[in-house]
Amino acid sequence: MRLTQDQQTEIEAQRAHRAPTARATVPALEALLFQAVPVLDHGFVRAIDYMGDDAAVVQAARVSYGRGTRKVSEDAGLIRYLMRHRHTTPFEMCEIKFHVKLPIFVARQWIRHRTANVNEYSARYSILDREFYIPAPEHLAAQSAVNRQGRGAVLEGQEAAEVLDMLRGDATRTYDHYAAMLNEGADGQPADPSRQGLARELARMNLTLNTYTQWYWKTDLHNLLHFLSLRADAHAQYEIRAYADAMLDMVRAWVPITCAAFEDYRMGAVTFSATMLAALKRMLAGEAVDQKGSGLSKREWTEMLVALGRDG
């Protein structure tokens, strides 16, 4: 990831600014505010504002006027109860805003989470940078033979080199055409005064999906945790998971008690259906249960055994 001097100067100015406040602040997150955490080859994510903390979750659950004399252990117990029993409203009292730089194809996957406020860099008004996501060799994989949404074996040797060359070549060529159609110099004047440039809103349609875009993404804590439960999961696409992992680190700094409960009851937990639970009870009672006699499909049976750490 490369930051321009202007971007770095802006970040330093934002971090240097201090304003007195009566609202709750979190020192661990304050230390991270505005800092660009590198993701992928040219991307980043940074927290730029937030509201609330672990105490705000507790306050909302109790509808109280303040912390009073309660112990931290009591707050932790309540938060863990709320998380365990999926009482989601108190977590909606906290909000956070991120600035994210990401490839367009990741953004189109990300925007499926329709529970945030989003404002994206507009290529109708501005010119996109000449920056493209090119996967590292270890993330260049073939299509999975068993999962239509997943990856299989990593490509190697000449095959991998040819794919990387095509990705770079296509992105470079289409951006060159984009720039030529715009016909705009660095000063905003026509690069070739003898012809008109194409409208920005039309020229952009030629760009590849690995071109980088940027947006501001603001959401409440409940919906952020839902996003992370899906996108920080081991089965998520690597590129969006890289962003989710960086954001999860920020959540740990922001609301450590809530995040610990989330990692216990959501990230590190499994869910059994009623039929799975019935089969498991029979197995614990000493009964020999196989897939055919369990009432489960082959896929459900395998998923249950994998969740139990047994050979599926």
What is the tens place of the pLDDT at every residue in 89-127?
A: 999 999 999 999 999 999 999 999 999 999 999 999 999
Active site (annotated) includes residue 231: yes
CATH of domain 1-133+210-269: 3.30.1360.170
Choose the catalytic residue: 231, 252, 282, 299: 231
0.85 exceeded by the pTM? yes
Helix, coil or strand: residue 119: strand
Q: Is 63 exposed, middle or buried (0-12, 13-18, 19+ CB in 10 A)?
A: exposed
Of 65-79, 122-136, 154-168, 170-184, the least confident: 65-79
- Rounded CA gap, 111 and 100, in Å? 12
pLDDT score recorded for residue 1:
55
Confidence of residue 312 (pLDDT cuts 50, 70, 90): low
For tokens 């299509």, what's the residue?
143
pLDDT top residue among 311 and 302: 302
Closest by Cα among 13, 218, 194, 254 to 117: 218
Distance, in Å, from the CA atom of 145 to the CA atom of 127, rounded to the nearest integer, reads 39
Q: Which positions ≥6 away from 223 have C-beta within 8 Å?
A: 92, 113, 115, 116
Provide mean pLDDT across the span 62-88: 82
For the cut 60, the answer to whether the pLDDT of residue 68 exceeds it is no
